[in-house]
Amino acid sequence: MIDIRWATQIDGFKIAEDGAELEVTNALGQYRTHADWVVACDGGQSFIRNQLGLPMRGTGYEGRYVIIDIDLPSTHRTERRAWFDPPWNRGSTVLMHQQPDNLWRIDYQLRHGEDTETALQPNAVAAFVQGHLDAIGEGHLPWRPVWTSIYRAGAMTLDSYRHGRVLFAGNAAHAMPIFGVRGLNSGFDDADNLAWKLAYVIAGEAPAVLLDTFSDERLQAFHINAESAKRSTEFMSPPSRGFDLFREAALSLAQEHRDIANLINPRQTEAIAYAQSALSSESDAFASGPEPGAALIDLPLRDGPKKYLVETLGPGFTCLVFSPSAAVRDAVDVFKREIASINVVAISDRHVAQRLRCSRRRGVPRASGRPRCGPLASCRFRSLATCLRTRMRPVSGKRKERPMSALSADARDRLYASVARATSEAGRSREALFLARLALLLFEQVADETRCERAIADALRNLPEPSLSAGSDDHY
């Protein structure tokens, strides 16, 4: 049974060995209550986090953005649009997208030296909005301001999301730049990761140490998301002229080069592969197929009443069996007695097996699963019960890396930042723009990140003075 109490405020709490004592206020009055577990989802200004004195660590970015919500009866394109260094607001980035009920949000970057308080004055807001609407052909429409605020991007996190019986999730645990909707999506991912683990612990089906994997896995996800957010933020608010130059080069090539266009798009969150999760171990690695900790691929089924693979998953753990031999059936019976909530599904569709590329060593098939369609915890049958109940040690050793036919998106991002820094030292000219465009095109062709990094260092070493002096050509 779940008891939801709306409009309720926690005024204080005290940690105990078996939970926490909470002081609560709502419309019915004040009272005290005991909680075995506390999940703090109380936002970026978390009361519980502040009461415990827990610091957030990470990176704060220089770019400051004014956020303006306006009521505008417009039929303008509804997708999120970005204008980089537009003629009506030089040296800045402007974003705009539609929200429900004729509400439109405009975010624009304050330039160096612009005062925050001045920018938020009603006359300054009105002048900017009207100028922007005029520039995009919407200035003839009536509009009114609804809300304004100031925003500075940052990627911050707690060092741990578990502190005894208190668990942190959402903005109380971490903060993300607004570009890419990573904050909201990370909150959903936190809940998805934590809910089943906490349920198992409360039901007595798993030790409390299982909750440490929530913290470890979601911290790993934060750092992956923060790295992507950093790339987006550096593109939206270039921290140096090198980044500014590479943004111009990328924009000029984006229409005809999809890989380069992907550098521009602030990537949305995607399923995180918990490669270093304590729920997996080095012995789980197979020669092919999804890595332990990766998200399950949903595939159509050609055999059976279910239409898609994800529909076969039960409310608890699911074991997918691709080779139901007599030995396998005996193994399944053993761990089903140990783990009553396990859902065993036999997959006869060879197409699905081939897509998952499930391999077998010494005749022992692969078993994979977490509740619903979460990341895979992969084990051999003989160790599955141990994997689910007691395996909590970190992964040791390195997994065998798979060959890449081309640079990964993350590798291109790292090279992008490296060359941008080098270009900042090299100078700014039409020649530099040409070299930036050339470098981005070469990234599409070279699959060796180490060679690219070495070439960047070699190009910067003993760099000669530019042949053209600053003047009319020193622009882009």
- CATH number of the domain that residue 313 is part of: 3.40.30.120
Alpha helices, H only, 254-408: 258-264, 326-338, 350-356, 384-389
What is the CATH classification number for the domain harbouring 105?
3.30.9.10
Confidence of residue 388 (pLDDT cuts 50, 70, 90): very low
Residues 64, 133, single domain; the answer is yes
Would you state the pLDDT for residue 127? 95
HSE of 381 in the Cβ direction (CA atoms, 13 Å)? 25
Confidence of residue 421 (pLDDT cuts 50, 70, 90): confident
Residues 176, 47, single domain; the answer is yes
In total, how many domains does the chain have? 4
The angle at the Cα of 263, spanning 258 to 267, to the nearest 5 degrees, equals 105
- The Cα 239–Cα 250 span in angstroms is 16
Report pLDDT digits (tens) over 240-292: 778 888 888 888 888 888 777 777 765 555 678 887 888 876 555 555 666 77
* Residue predicted with more confidence, 263 or 16: 16
- The Cα 169–Cα 39 span in angstroms is 7
Report pLDDT digits (tens) over 145-198: 999 999 887 889 999 999 999 999 999 999 988 766 678 888 999 999 999 999
Closest CA to 95 of 349, 266, 269: 266
- The Cα 366–Cα 377 span in angstroms is 10
Would you state the pLDDT for residue 282? 59
3-state secondary structure of 34: strand
Q: Which residues are CB-neighbours of 444 under 8 A, at least 6 positions away?
A: 257, 259, 260, 406
- Residue 230 corresponds to which tokens in the numbers above? 């950093």
Whether pLDDT at 62 is above 90:
no
Closest CA to 442 of 272, 253, 276, 269: 253
The length of the chain is 476
Closest CA to 459 of 441, 475, 476, 436: 436
Residues 177, 162, single domain; the answer is yes
Whether pLDDT at 387 is above 70:
no
Residues 371, 435, single domain; the answer is no
Domain extent for 111: 58-154
Residue 394 lies in a domain: no
Q: Do strands 144-157 and 57-71 pair parallel, antiparallel, or not at all (unpaired)?
A: antiparallel
Residue 286 lies in a domain: yes
318, 312 contact by CB (below 8 A): yes
Confidence of residue 21 (pLDDT cuts 50, 70, 90): very high
CA distances from 353 to 261, 320, 350, 382 (A): 34, 10, 5, 21
Report pLDDT digits (tens) over 67-126: 999 999 987 766 778 888 899 988 888 989 888 888 999 999 888 888 889 999 999 999
Residue 191 lies in a domain: yes
* Residue predicted with more confidence, 37 or 79: 37
3-state secondary structure of 45: coil
Would you state the pLDDT for residue 324? 65
151, 63 contact by CB (below 8 A): no
Q: Which residue has the tokens 């999804």?
A: 290
Strands lying side by side in the sheet with 57-71? 81-84, 93-99, 103-110, 57-71, 144-157, 174-175
Query: Rounded to a whole number, what is the distance in angstroms from the first to the last CA of the chain?
Result: 63
Q: Do strands 166-168 and 38-40 pair parallel, antiparallel, or not at all (unpaired)?
A: parallel
What is the CATH classification number for the domain harbouring 17?
3.50.50.60
Residues 82, 124, single domain; the answer is yes
Residues 46, 171, single domain; the answer is yes
Would you state the pLDDT for residue 405? 44
Residues 345, 373, single domain; the answer is yes
Q: Do strands 366-367 and 57-71 pair parallel, antiparallel, or not at all (unpaired)?
A: unpaired
Look up the pTM and report it: 0.71
Residues 288, 380, single domain; the answer is yes
Report pLDDT digits (tens) over 316-351: 777 777 766 676 677 677 767 766 667 777 777 777
96, 108 contact by CB (below 8 A): no
Q: Which of 389, 418, 448 is the last residue of a domain?
A: 389
Residue 30 lies in a domain: yes
Confidence of residue 429 (pLDDT cuts 50, 70, 90): low
Q: What is the DSSP string of 150-218?
A: EEEEEEEE-S-SEETTEEE-GGGTEE--STTSHHHHHHHHHHHHHHHHHHHHHTTSS-TTHHHHHHHHH
3-state secondary structure of 357: coil
Residues 77, 51, single domain; the answer is no
- Residue 249 corresponds to which tokens in the numbers above? 């080069």
Residues 134, 176, single domain; the answer is no
Residues 71, 203, single domain; the answer is no
Would you state the pLDDT for residue 353? 74
Confidence of residue 301 (pLDDT cuts 50, 70, 90): confident
Q: Which of 128, 154, 180 is the last residue of a domain?
A: 154
- Residue 440 corresponds to which tokens in the numbers above? 């981005």
Residues 67, 138, single domain; the answer is yes
**Long-range contact pairs involving 14-21 (C-beta distance under 8 Å, separation at least 24):** 15/164, 15/165, 15/166, 16/165, 18/165, 19/165, 20/165, 20/166
Q: Which of 345, 362, 389 is the last residue of a domain?
A: 389
- Give the mean pLDDT of the chain: 77
